[in-house]
């Protein structure tokens, strides 16, 4: 087991990882920018190292500074959290070259899944169902038209290097295709320095369903069930739940089994998420994330298993603490992402939190790095906390969520809490009857 882990992140996830390390008796080091000197993770860690000024590229993305911090403090492993360097293959390789363990998969596995065309090809080879579309990058208009006609309109053009919903364009008819191809490619080039794009069938009313997987480091793969993350705004998840209100036990076992086998065949090690669109009873792979996800706590709530403990165990060579047959699903969990944003316009609302009071009681978990008097710096993501609620079934979970949202107080800044108070009273949400476009339509109506 590791003696000392360096946490290369900030905010709620840095605290989340820190808690797991403390429980396992592992010393903790955190790195931080000058803007985060007063952050909770800095206060609670055994050691902290300031690695640079506020902009992420000079601090949380500065590989040299982070490696230097490991060497100065004698950390033997790094947990990257999510975002920042968590899916940076070069970072994983550099740590390996310094004999520091990256708590995550190998650089090669990150590379395969970071390139969406390569990821899709790999998924197909491993027997994972994929969205019909081009086999590789498409540059030529003629070829694009031929493929689109073959799979049928509407189609979506996506960036191979994509992320965060950028570089995606829908073409409803052949007349739209030329412009869509050009704009997607230009946008991808500007955002990612790689203008390769590919074509997929555009699914009109899918749900976003993702499977939590783990490779144990010894060639075995397991799955921890699915999460439904269909409530999205601008391709960003807002509300996540487990299990999905749309799947039955047979579908769950089938897709879980396919994913676990693929992870084993790939020789993957650590936590990962295989993301699908789900429509009319069919699953279509869209991408794999080779890291811990923001929404992992809903899976922890229904399985009772600490996924960060498992990540640390696997990375240290100790394998998973559970086998597939030990992973049981109990009740229902929902996560609300609380952002420092205007609940209608979603413009960021940084500033000082004058009062912060979190709900409590049975089945309530709040993961947050903020406190009363904390000043939110304007440089980073606007997520300030996550409310995760567990109940014996979805109805109980929703009742408890409503009560927890009423208790939650964040004064001094605007947050997305009022949006969740509206959603929890909505009939479609109560019925679990929503797809990936539901929230955008709902917000448009409310305007
Ligand atoms: P990113 O890595 O940029 O987030 P993804 O491939 O994960 O891109 O897709 C993000 C979101 O875009 C999905 O959750 C879904 O809402 C939408 N999307 C992606 N591919 C399709 C498709 N083929 N049909 C319909 N919607 C899609």
pLDDT tens digits, residue range 350-405?
999 999 999 999 999 999 999 999 999 999 999 999 999 999 999 999 999 999 99
Q: Tell me which residue of 283, 291, 200, 238 sits closest to 423, measured CA to CA.
A: 238
Q: Give the Cα separation of 250 and 243 in Å (integer).
A: 13
Report the range of poorest mean pLDDT among 76-80, 90-94, 160-164.
Answer: 160-164
Which DSSP helix (H) or strand (E) runs through 298? Answer: helix 296-303
Give yes or no for residue 11 having a pLDDT over 90. Answer: yes
Record the tokens describing residue 334, joined without a space: 């929902």
Contact 155, 148 (CB under 8 A): yes
Compute the mean pLDDT over every residue in the chain, rounded to the nearest whole number.
97
Angle at CA of residue 12, ends 6 and 16, nearest 5°: 55
| DSSP of 338-396 | EESB-TTT--B--EE-SEEE---STTEEEEE---TTPEEPTTS--EEEEEEEEESSHHH
Contact (CB, 8 A) for 285 and 141: no
Q: For residues 43 and 37, what is the distance between their CA atoms, to the nearest angstrom?
A: 8
CA–centroid distance, 445 to ligand 1, in Å, is: 23
- The whole-number average pLDDT for the span 419-447 is 96
Helix (H) or strand (E) segment spanning residue 33: strand 27-33
Percent of the chain with pLDDT over 90: 96
- In whole angstroms, what is the distance from residue 196 CA to residue 190 CA? 11
d(CA 341, CA 446): 17
Whole-number Å distance, alpha carbon 120 to ligand 1 midpoint, is: 13
Average pLDDT for residues 107-131, to the nearest whole number? Answer: 97
Q: Determine the Cα–Cα distance for residues 295 and 293; give it in Å rounded to an integer.
A: 5
Which residues, in sequence order, are CB contacts of 345 under 8 Å at separation 6+? none
Give the pLDDT band of residue 164 (cuts 50, 70, 90). confident
Categorize the per-residue pLDDT at 79 as very low, low, confident or very high, splitting at 50, 70 and 90: very high
Whether residue 342 is preceded by a cis peptide bond, meaning omega within 30 degrees of 0, is no
DSSP H helical ranges for 40-136: 40-44, 63-73, 89-97, 107-114, 116-125
**Test site for ligand 1: of 235, 237, 280, most ligand atoms within 8 A of the Cβ:** 235
Q: Is the pLDDT of residue 208 over 80?
A: yes
> What is the tens place of the pLDDT at every residue in 248-263?
999 999 999 999 999 9
pLDDT at residue 165 tops 90: no
Distance from C-alpha of 354 to C-alpha of 352, rounded to nearest angstrom: 6
Ligand 1 shell residues, CB under 6 Å: 131, 156, 162-165, 200-203, 206, 208, 232, 235, 275, 277, 286-287, 436
From residue 402, give the alpha-carbon distance in Å to each of 245, 397, 421: 18, 9, 7
Q: How far is the CA of 436 from the centre of ligand 1 (A)?
A: 9
pLDDT confidence band for 441 (50 / 70 / 90): very high
- For β-strands 355-357 and 282-289, DSSP reports them as unpaired
* Cα 44 to Cα 146: distance, rounded to the nearest angstrom: 58
Position 447 pLDDT exceeds 80: no
Q: What is the pLDDT of residue 395?
A: 98
Among the atoms of ligand 1, which is closest to the Cα of residue 275? 7
Instruction: State in Å: Cα 376 to ligand 1 middle.
Output: 30
| Type and span of the H or E element at 277 | strand 269-279
Confidence (pLDDT) at 442: 97
**pLDDT score recorded for residue 347:** 95
d(CA 177, CA 187): 15
Q: Is the pLDDT of residue 163 over 90?
A: no
CA distance 198 to 364: 42
User: Angle 255-259-266 (CA atoms, 0-180°, nearest 5)?
Assistant: 160
Kindly list the catalytic residues: 291
Whose CA is closest to atom 15 on ligand 1?
235
Distance 106 CA to ligand 1 centre (A): 25
Per-residue pLDDT band at 167 (split at 50, 70, 90): confident
In the prediction, which pLDDT does 133 show?
Answer: 95
Residue 239 pLDDT: 98
Over residues 183-207, the pLDDT tens digits come to: 999 999 999 999 999 999 999 999 9
**Of residues 378, 350, 371, the one with CA closest to residue 44:** 371
pLDDT at 250: 96
Nearest-CA residue for atom 13 of ligand 1? 235
Of 277, 280, 437, 441, the one to substitute when testing ligand 1's pocket (max ligand atoms within 8 A of C-beta) is 277
HSE of 259 in the Cβ direction (CA atoms, 13 Å)?
Answer: 31
Strand partners, 341: 348
Token pair listed for 314: 């696997």
């Amino acid at each position: 087991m590791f003696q000392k882990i360096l946490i290369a992140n900030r905010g709620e996830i840095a605290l989340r990882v820190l808690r797991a390390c403390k429980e396992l008796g592992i010393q903790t080091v955190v790195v931080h920018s000058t803007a985060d000197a007063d952050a909770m993770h800095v206060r609670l860690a055994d050691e902290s190292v300031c690695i640079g000024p506020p902009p992420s590229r000079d601090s949380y993305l500065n590989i040299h500074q982070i490696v230097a911090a490991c060497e100065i403090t004698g950390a033997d492993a790094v947990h990257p959290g999510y975002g920042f360097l968590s899916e940076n293959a070069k970072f994983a390789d550099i740590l390996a070259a310094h004999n520091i363990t990256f708590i995550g998969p190998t650089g090669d596995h990150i590379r395969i899944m970071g390139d969406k065309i390569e990821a899709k090809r790999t998924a197909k080879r491993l027997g994972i169902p994929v969205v019909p579309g081009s086999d590789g990058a498409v540059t030529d208009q003629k070829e694009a038209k031929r493929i689109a006609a073959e799979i049928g309109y509407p189609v979506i053009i996506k960036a191979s290097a994509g992320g965060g919903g950028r570089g995606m364009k829908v073409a409803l008819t052949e007349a739209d295709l030329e412009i869509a191809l050009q704009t997607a490619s230009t946008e991808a080039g500007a955002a990612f320095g790689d203008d390769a794009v590919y074509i997929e069938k555009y699914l009109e009313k899918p749900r976003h369903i993702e499977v939590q997987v783990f490779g144990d480091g010894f060639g075995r793969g397991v799955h921890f069930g699915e999460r439904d993350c269909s409530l999205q705004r601008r391709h960003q998840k807002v509300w996540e739940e487990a299990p999905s209100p749309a799947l039955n036990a047979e579908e769950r076992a089938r897709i879980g089994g396919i994913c676990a086998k693929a992870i084993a065949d790939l020789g993957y090690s650590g936590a990962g998420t295989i993301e699908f669109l789900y429509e009319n009873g069919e699953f279509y792979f869209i991408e794999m994330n080779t890291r811990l996800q923001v929404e992992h706590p809903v899976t922890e709530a229904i399985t009772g298993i600490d996924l960060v403990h498992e990540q640390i165990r696997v990375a240290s060579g100790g394998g998973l603490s559970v086998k597939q047959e030990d992973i049981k699903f109990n009740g229902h969990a929902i996560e609300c992402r609380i952002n420092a944003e205007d609940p209608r316009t979603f413009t960021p609302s940084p500033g000082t939190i004058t009062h912060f009071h979190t709900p409590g009681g049975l089945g309530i978990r709040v993961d947050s790095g903020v406190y009363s008097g904390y000043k939110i710096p304007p440089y980073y993501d606007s997520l300030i906390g996550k409310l995760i609620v567990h109940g014996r079934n979805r109805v109980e979970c929703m009742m408890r969520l409503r009560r927890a949202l009423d208790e939650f107080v964040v004064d001094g800044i605007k947050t997305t809490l009022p949006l969740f108070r509206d959603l929890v009273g909505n009939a479609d949400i109560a019925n679990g009857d929503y797809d990936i476009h539901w929230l955008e339509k709902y917000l448009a109506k409310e305007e």
